[in-house]
Amino acid sequence: MSDYYYRGTTLSAHRPSVGAWVSAQRGWFYLAGEAYSVKLPTNPLAEIILSGGIRSKIGPFDLDFALIYFLYPRERPSGLTTETDYWEANGKVSHKLTSTTTIGAELAYAPSISNSGAWATYAAGKIRIDLPTTSSPNGVNWYLSADLGHYWFGTVAPVFGGFALPNYTHWRAGVAFTYSMFALDLSYHDTNLAREDCYVFTGDPGATPGGRINQISNPQGLRSNWCGTAFVATLSFKLKNSK
């Protein structure tokens, strides 16, 4: 990836990132693991995502319910923050509305996001539109996709100041091309987070002063660009064992 964006914020400080994932399913039940290179305030070795749950098709709906653990090994303390591992319960549903259009929704809850003490609820809607292949090279498929999501947060633990994390909305729109096992995704990302609130949410160590001061959550008025506009290119390939 040219930049690792997750729900509207960069996890790689606007630098390239590499990742790998594996998933195994038996009947309705599955286990999955993912690993990505990241650049975060605590300088972890990587982001490792472990998940397990139920994935099935019921009638016209594809369902996915999972428990997910976000692990950041070998973190170094950053201010009062020592480790940011956390759990999330996640549910997804999708439906093929027409032969070319698929819609979906996602709902997630974390009791202590990034181990901050603040609960987090995330909801998103998604759409994918498969485009005609008559004008594309032989074997190449392409589609448009878009996401719109919103995060609600509680207050962080008293040791971190006891303030509420800033709620925010993010959106993504892109076009993707697939050929055999390969996929190239070109996407635009943005949020409605002010740069001062972006610093509060991310703790960006490269944040700059000069912004709006909040005596509780941001007394220095630091500003971060980790939540702003970004164009991201992702090249991936998938190997599947159908046995």
Q: State the pLDDT at residue 190.
A: 97
Task: Collapse the DSSP code of 33 into the 3-class scheme (helix H, G, I; strand E, B; otherwise coil) and give the result.
Answer: strand
Q: Which CATH superfamily is domain 5-193+228-237 in?
A: monomeric porin ompg (2.40.160.40)
Pairs from 70-76 (Cβ < 8 Å, separation ≥ 24): 71/47, 72/38, 72/40, 72/42, 72/44, 72/45, 72/46, 72/47, 72/48, 73/44, 73/45, 73/46, 73/48, 74/44, 74/45, 75/42, 75/43, 75/44, 76/42, 76/43
164, 155 contact by CB (below 8 A): yes
Structure tokens at 99: 């032969």
In this prediction, residue 241 carries a pLDDT of 60
Angle subtended at Cα 116 by Cα 225 and Cα 124, rounded to the nearest 5 degrees: 60
The pLDDT assigned to 136 comes to 65
Encode the chain (243 residues) as per-residue pLDDT tens digits. Answer: 999 999 999 999 999 999 999 999 999 999 999 999 999 999 999 999 999 999 999 999 999 999 999 999 999 998 889 999 999 999 999 999 999 999 999 999 999 999 999 999 999 999 999 998 876 677 899 999 999 999 999 999 999 999 999 999 999 999 999 998 999 999 999 999 999 999 999 999 999 999 999 999 999 999 999 998 999 999 999 987 654
Phi-psi region for residue 202, left (φ > 0), alpha (ψ -120 to 50) or beta?
alpha
d(CA 131, CA 129): 6
Q: What is the dihedral of CA 77, 80, 82, 87, to 10 degrees?
A: -140
Cα-based torsion angle of the residue sequence 52, 57, 58, 61 in order, rounded to the nearest 10 degrees: 100
Domain boundaries, the chain: 5-193+228-237
List Cα–Cα distances, 102 to 60, 62, 128, in angstroms. 11, 11, 5
Instruction: Give the pair of three-digit tokens for residue 157.
Output: 């633990």
d(CA 200, CA 169): 15
Per the prediction, the chain carries an average pLDDT of 95
The pTM assigned to this predicted structure is 0.93
List, in sequence order, every residue forming a beta bridge with 183; answer none if it has no partner: 178, 236
Separate counts of helices (H) and strands (E) for the chain: 1, 13
* φ and ψ of 113, to 5 deg: -65, 135
